[in-house]
Copies of this chain bind each other. A is one copy, B any other.
Amino acid sequence: MRIAVLGTGRVGQTLAARLAELGHAVTVGTRDVATASARSEPDTFGNPPFPEWRTHHPDIDLAGFADAAAGAELVVNATNGAGSIAALEAAGEEHLAGKVLVDVSNPLDFSRGMPPSLLVSNTDSLAEQIQRRFPATRVVKALNTVNANLMVDPRQLAGGDHSVFVSGDDPDAKAQVTELLESFGWSDVVDLGDITTARGTEMYLPLWVRLSATLGTPMFTIKVVR
């Protein structure tokens, strides 16, 4: 499948690499190709600059948000949650219309320091904001409850014996995303319901952040035991 991964950060890189490895034609979308290509410093988490990552993935294209989305059959939003709506607007409503958009972002607010709070919560969610702003797009919230490495390779932890969630209004879109998650190695994909259920997984983030601090690692997740 032709897939656009919007976002050049660690999450975007990890998803793009895995999708390419699985045989998809992947384009990473960025706000400004020249800027992304010129980066020479590690990011705030100490990861290598994007151009260095690219040298290891010559099969993955780089394009502006709009070009990346225009050429894709399925789009992944791996941009920073605080800037996701703006990034998707740059991608263009017409380039997202009718397509499945996998939203893996979280509306984290680091402006008050650590731990982050949420920019939107309780009676709304970022996924719903995106769905309302792009009504012709089939938004599916997924993977936002786990670290990037686990997103694409869940079996590296406890043999994959843990859970991931999908939320969305379009059953076919959720089925398509579930298939994609299964191709990553996920075996317990829980369909929570419509897009409003993304409030649940986004509001799980404060627990995730505290657990990560307590456990001293982001390489953990939850299993729904029933």
Question: Which of these, B121, B200, B203, B222, contacts A224 with CB under 8 Å?
Answer: B222
Are the C-beta atoms of A193 and B213 separated by less than 8 Å? yes
A158 in contact (CB, < 8 A): yes
Are the C-beta atoms of A161 and B225 separated by less than 8 Å? yes
Q: Which B residues are in CB contact (< 8 Å) with A193?
A: 210, 213-214
Given A191-B214, A207-B204, A213-B193, is A162 in contact with B225 using a C-beta cutoff of 8 Å? yes
The closest CB in chain B to the CB of A225 belongs to B162
In the complex, chain A residues 181-226 whose Cβ is within 8 Å of any chain B Cβ = 190-193, 197, 199-201, 203-204, 206-211, 213-215, 217, 219-226
**Binary flags per residue of A145-163, CB closer than 8 Å to B gives 1, else 0:** 0000000000001100110
Question: Which of these, B209, B214, B224, contacts A211 with CB under 8 Å?
Answer: B224
Are the C-beta atoms of A200 and B190 separated by less than 8 Å? no
A123 in contact (CB, < 8 A): yes
The closest CB in chain B to the CB of A209 belongs to B200
Given A204-B204, A225-B158, is A192 in contact with B220 using a C-beta cutoff of 8 Å? no
In the complex, chain A residues 132-178 whose Cβ is within 8 Å of any chain B Cβ = 157-158, 161-162
Q: Which B residues are in CB contact (< 8 Å) with A220?
A: 224-226
Residues of A that sit less than 8 Å from B by CB: 112, 117-118, 121-123, 157-158, 161-162, 190-193, 197, 199-201, 203-204, 206-211, 213-215, 217, 219-226
6 shortest interchain CB distances as A-B pairs: A200-B207, A220-B226, A222-B222, A162-B225, A203-B203, A200-B210
